[in-house]
Amino acid sequence: MSSGGLLVAGTTSDAGKSVVTAGICRWLVRQGVKVAPFKAQNMSLNSFVTREGAEIGRAQAMQAQACRVEPTALMNPVLLKPGGERSSQVVLMGRPVGEMSARGYHGGRQEQLLGTVLDCLEQLRNQYDAVICEGAGSPAEINLRRTDIVNMGVARNAGLPVLVVGDIDRGGVFASFFGTVALLSPEDQELVAGFLVNKFRGDVSLLEPGLEMLHGLTGRRTYGVLPFRHGLGIDEEDGMGVGAVRESAVAAPAGEELLRVAVCAVPLMSNFTDVDALAAEPGVVVRFVDRPDELADADLVVVPGTRGTVRALRWLRERGLADALVRRAAEGRPLLGVCGGFQLLGEHIEDDVESRAGRVDGLGVLPVRVRFAREKTLARPVGEALGERVEGYEIHHGVAEVLGGEAFLDGCRVGATWGTHWHGALESDGFRRAFLRTVAERAGRRFVPAPDTSFAALREQQLDRLGDLIEQHADTDALWRLIESGAPRGLPFIPPGAPA
């Protein structure tokens, strides 16, 4: 028999679905419930590799951690990785199956995947007491409803109650709640149980008359009002929020000086969560930059991963950042390239797969030549660097031939320039501290890494904060009834409903 479940939908993208889903998961697991996350289809450049070598959305890996379970491909069967304005790589059950235009995907391919999606969800529901599903964008995208496999398409087929999250900090949340329900068909509306207000600032008593009027208008209750909290945007799905970094407070340094890190905000930036571990260090200031003058006072410059290495290389040259990076390397000032950022620091790239640009000259600061293979490398390597154990994960088509320099993980080091394909390496505490000590020495900074920073512990604390939000500011008894028993019967229809 299938378990209980819930679909967390949103009035818009970035309404807070990912963090609310994680918060509900952490609250449930603290109550002794065996729970799993699920997102049928994710569009994200932030991805993760599971232990079985499957690529899934980074947000679902974070939600699995909130559930205290190992992430698997079942939790995110379809992942779309944008490669431009109109096309994406389709990753099915953790493996890439090709590039597809948005028209081609929504024109038929998406519908074909519904069976796979529902099978994955059913497997999870047979294994867990509850499955908390995350929707995508808005469930009221009337132009896409026919082929929907992530919002009401999943809810209808799996009989899931739906909780709609709205970001009140943006304004217009009452209209968004009402309009979302009113644009759904009668059959879809029957599953929309109610609402959850997110990012509220101020006195809740001032909001309550509006919530009562919303209940009168829709027949649906509000299950909670979550207050605004800084720094909760962990492992986001795209580059809009650049992880928790832009909201993070910089703690006082353990040494005498701060360490400044500049991250080049390249196009199609992927797995920018790599630098969250740096931002978690007391005294480390991380900022994202797009001009050469912003590199001048940086003690370390990071060129992050990207879904478009050749495009990123062109962007760096157009903005003058490429010349600044080359000068920096020649001057022996610290520079780190990760994945695509590592590839473009090499001598040249042969790309007949991602950009189909053929041979393109790199920046030439590392003795590396890159050839793009059609088969994607997906791995969870473990190694050693700077005398410390390192764990990471790899997601790349580029195959690097290292021709010199000093060995550094799977890449190399020349002077104060490092390059590697390994994402997540900086989450290894001992290695991160050793790396920052080396950077500070090369940069001439009196910076000392704190001896006791545990990135894993900080992540757990952050997930507990999400669980606390749900426990303290949502009606958890009503939420559990929803998960266990489904949407209330007899919910009224709100006209006009979805167009025919």
Per DSSP bridges, beta strands 394-402 and 368-379 are antiparallel
Q: Give CA separation, 475 vs 155, 219, 303, in Å.
A: 22, 17, 44
The H or E element containing residue 335 is: strand 335-338
Q: Where do the H-state alpha helices sit in 219-334? A: 276-279, 309-318, 321-330
Which of 193, 126, 139 shows the shortest CA–CA distance to 486? 193
Q: Read off φ and ψ for residue 402, nearest 5 degrees.
A: -90, 120
Assign 448 to helix, strand or coil. coil
Contact 417, 329 (CB under 8 A): yes
H or E element at residue 126: helix 114-127
Token pair recorded at residue 337: 């390239």
Tokens of 481: 């009834």
Burial 213-238 (b: 16+ CB within 10 A, else e): ebeeebbbbbbbbbeeeeebbbbbbb
Burial of 407 (0-12, 13-18, 19+ CB in 10 A): exposed
Buried b (16+ CB within 10 A) or exposed e, 354-369: bbebeebebbebbebb
305-306 and 335-338 strand pairing: unpaired
Asked if residues 132 and 5 have their Cβ atoms less than 8 Å apart, the reply is: yes
From 339, 412, 421, 473, the catalytic residue: 339
Long-range CB pairs of 227-233, under 8 A, 24+ apart, other chains included: 227/199, 227/200, 227/201, 227/469, 227/473, 228/169, 228/199, 228/200, 228/201, 229/465, 229/469, 231/462, 232/19, 232/462, 232/465, 232/466, 232/469, 233/19
**Parallel, antiparallel, or unpaired for β 47-49 and 368-379?**
unpaired
**Does residue 423 have an active-site annotation?**
yes
Question: Of 396, 397, 421, 423, which residue is the catalytic one?
Answer: 423
Percentages helix, strand, coil for the chain (3-state, rounded to 5) are: 35, 30, 35
25: annotated active-site residue? no
11, with CB counted inside 10 A (0-12, 13-18, 19+), is: buried
Report how far residue 310's alpha carbon sits from residue 10's, in angstroms, rounded to the nearest whole number.
35
The catalytic residue positions are 339, 423
